[in-house]
Structure 1
Amino acid sequence: MSNKQKDSLFIKAAFSLPTERPPIWFMRQAGRFMKEYWEIKNKYSFLEMCKTPEIAADVTMLPVNLLGVDAAILFSDILVTAEAMGGDLSFTQGVGPRFANPVRLKQDVERLTTDVSQKLQYVPEAIKVIQQRLDGSIPLIGFAGAPFTVMSYLVEGGSSKDFKLTKLMIHNQPELAHQLLNKIADVTITYLNMQIEAGVNAVQLFDSWALALSWDDYREFAHQYNVRILAGLNRKDIPVISFCKGSSVFASMMAEAKPDVISVDWNADLLDIKKMLPKGIAVQGNLDPHILYADKKVIRERIVKLHERMKGENGFIFNLGHGIMPDIPFDHVKYAVDVIKNELTNA
């Protein structure tokens, strides 16, 4: 990593070093709340956007150019690994991701391949294009979906409200669940190391649906695989962020995997979480994304309040507790960035 990147606000905060203000980026920052995103999306399918390096770069750069965030995140999807393993993936407007061949039986798990590098070559190609465009201005974050979350989409055949089929598998057929999770974990290690080799400056592991699990099930069917993934990464100079919806519940266990940063949802007091974590683990979050619907006066008040709470703490990255919703007004998101960049100081 260049010295310029090591000196960036985002990388310094991720490694719990002092910064003059907290860095800011958003989960889903290159997305449907931007009219410029729709200008691209109306010409191509979602998977075409992910798989065409120039288009993925165009979308990745939108929040960099339009919002002025302190880090870019690769435009892709957590389910590209599942597709590369053999999932028949499609995205439908208003429905979301679907797998036409859900994984429910032993033979379904056995047909999934872990030899995915060639199928995912479009990702390192996109990273190289993005890094040329960023030209060292800010860091680029790569990412992958964590095994339990990816498994839930494969087993359910798409999004789910109750994860009934996934939970039936882990409870009635735990050996089969572990066979599936092991395969996904192997692929995830390969995939994140591909991204690191291609030039990302940080990576985030998204365990979006971990909150569906009880404490014991989280340890057995999510956490142990996340531990293995983080241990398998080529992490020199590359901060690793661990995110799950439910991180305010699982943060103490998540810390056992030794991430550099834990991204926290909006259900907890961020400073309490930070003080509970081992020294040297930074926190990211935990603004309620719904605040961005509110009046600008309220947005500013909440940002200032969170900053005051975290003031004097090294290792704090401003972000939301989850992703930006598609109908949040763009100018509210831009306003939030401007408040953080122009009004906050850690001095």
Structure 2
Amino acid sequence: MQFIITSEYSKMRLDLFLKEHFPELSRTHLQKLVKDGQVTVNEEKVTPHYFLKEGDEVEAVIEPVQDLRVVENPEVTIIKCDEEAPTPPNLPSGRGGKIVSPPLGGGVRRGQVCIIHEEPDFIVVNKPAGLVVHQGEGHKEPDTLANGLLARYPEIGKVGDDPVRPGIMHRLDADVSGVMVIARTQDMFDHLKKQFKTHEVEKEYVAVVEGKVSPPSGTIEFAIARKGARMVARPKHEEGKKAVTEYEMLSSDGKSSVLRIKIHTGRTHQIRVHLKAKGWPIVGDRLYNVKFKMKNVKLVEPGRLMLHASKLRFKDLKGVGREFEAKIPIEFNF
């Protein structure tokens, strides 16, 4: 689609112009299209904040965004954490296997989303391992956390920056379980998004790693950079984004260890990359620990990534600090 800029739009920012002409798309999505070169001005790549001039030729190659389908799906059962959940069908792991496990704490079983807490402004959930948070290029099926929540809380469909991420401003990898917060109002979404951006939100995890960790506590500060489809840790003097991870060993049987982890930055795969760089890869990590022999560790469920988001702390709209905890799955106790 091509536009010739008239005096009416002269001096308007490009991303705002696009938002006016494509109101069904979020500004975040439109900015990404500009950065990816799918929107050009005078056949040249520009920034989303480019100020238009009369006579500019704007060309936009924008494909229709797949609608997020809201469906009732037995693999995305939504229950309260104090409810006894019915046993669902086995949930595919996303890589050809089946996840079969005993209940999590609170009677929740694999494939079931547990509501830890809900208020008019937000919901806090315990996401099971094996469940994708939202649809995207790599996962277009409607069997996601977002779809399940939309079925129960339809108001979140109008909240957020992108229709495929209703109310969602952070996420967990598909194979990671644990606590997440979802906004029910735009005010809360913006409030939480700012806290995540400025690293005010405190996140705590539990992981099972290969080997005995030494020293038993410390801080990892390797920078992180992308290398192909994976992230890699870099020494401080090399290029990469700052990343800080604290850890403390809770227990060990000599062959594997349980760690409590707190991150001060939110880089892609940060915990997985940092622990791999220290020689303590996470058990079940099929991306960063492919050579690990699962038979060396006695686990209740060896088919999952042994990383769980256990605690989340943030401020509500009144500025009051709130803390929520997702019970640690029983397969982490050994």
Q: TM-score, with normalisation over the residues of structure 1?
A: 0.25
The structure where helix makes up a greater share of residues is: 1
Structure possessing the higher radius of gyration over alpha carbons:
2
Q: Which has the higher contact order (CA 8 A, sep 6+)?
A: 1
